[in-house]
Amino acid sequence: MNIPPDCCLVHVVDDDAGLRRSLRFLLQSVGWKVQLHASAEEFLQTVTEPTQPCCVLLDIRMPAMSGLELQQVLLERGIRLPILFMTGHADVSMAVQAMKSGAADFIEKPFKDQAVLDAVASAIRCSAEALQCAQKRAEAQALLASLSPREKDVARLVALGQPNKLIADALGISEKTVHIHRKHVMEKAGLSSAAELARLMLRADPSALD
């Protein structure tokens, strides 16, 4: 996936002003946009669900609200951002725990510039892939939302591989009616096979065919 650097945003959350400036210089040197935040509280005042590839470079230890506490707040708000924790040697066990809660990675201080760039690039790729999946899911949901209730019933059984006769029996309608609904479903969704329909439904809702 080719991601233009100027379409990517890196948030740096650290109470050390010198480190924030140093990281901004490093990250901007490869073309990424950077936003600096002096505290977790400051970051929370502006953060929203991402609309562009992004990640957060987050100090694990900060006054007032720690990086770990910020991670939990983001999870509670349903804001999914790849988080890269910046840790001291004594904080490695905390960073491992953070990764169990969904952090993308951690970088141990003092870190090398290339280690930061590599970790951020990886997190940006993950973010871009997540955004792409979310867009495809929204498109699939919109297509399925255009179906009538009966068309949705037929679509689910078609996606499960059932023939028209069994669908007709299950729904208490004629095979001819099933055929008509099936045709409308495929036309509305722009599909040509039951397998494609199954993929569309699973993209919209992974539990749709349970």
Nearest to 163 by CA among 179, 141, 139, 183: 179
The domain covering 5-135 belongs, at the CATH homologous superfamily level, to Response regulator (3.40.50.2300)
Q: Where in the chain is the domain with CATH 1.10.10.10?
A: 146-204
Q: Where in the chain is the domain with CATH 3.40.50.2300?
A: 5-135
DSSP H/E element including 127: helix 113-145
Handedness of CA 41, 52, 54, 133 (dihedral sign): positive
Question: What are the strands of the beta sheet with 83-87, ordered from one edge?
Answer: 33-37, 9-13, 54-59, 83-87, 105-108
> Distance between alpha carbon 19 and the CA centroid of its chain, in Å?
28
Taking only Cα atoms into account, the Rg of the chain, rounded to an integer number of angstroms, comes to 23
The pTM score is: 0.79
Nearest to 84 by CA among 130, 125, 46: 125
What token pair was written down for 161?
């591989």
User: Tokens 């929370």 identify what position?
Assistant: 44
Please give the DSSP secondary-structure letter assigned to residue 32. -
> Distance between alpha carbon 140 and the CA centroid of its chain, in Å?
16
Say if residues 4 and 30 touch (Cβ distance below 8 Å): no
What's phi and psi for 176, nearest 5 deg? -60, -40
pLDDT of residue 89: 75
Task: List pLDDT tens digits, range 34-60.
Answer: 999 999 999 999 998 888 999 999 999
pLDDT of residue 126: 92
CB contact set of 31 (below 8 Å; sequence gap of 6+): 4, 5, 6
Q: Mean pLDDT, 10 residues at a time, over the chain (210 residues)?
A: 84 96 96 96 91 94 91 91 88 83 89 94 93 92 94 94 94 94 94 93 91
Please name the fold of domain 146-204: Arc Repressor Mutant, subunit A (1.10.10)
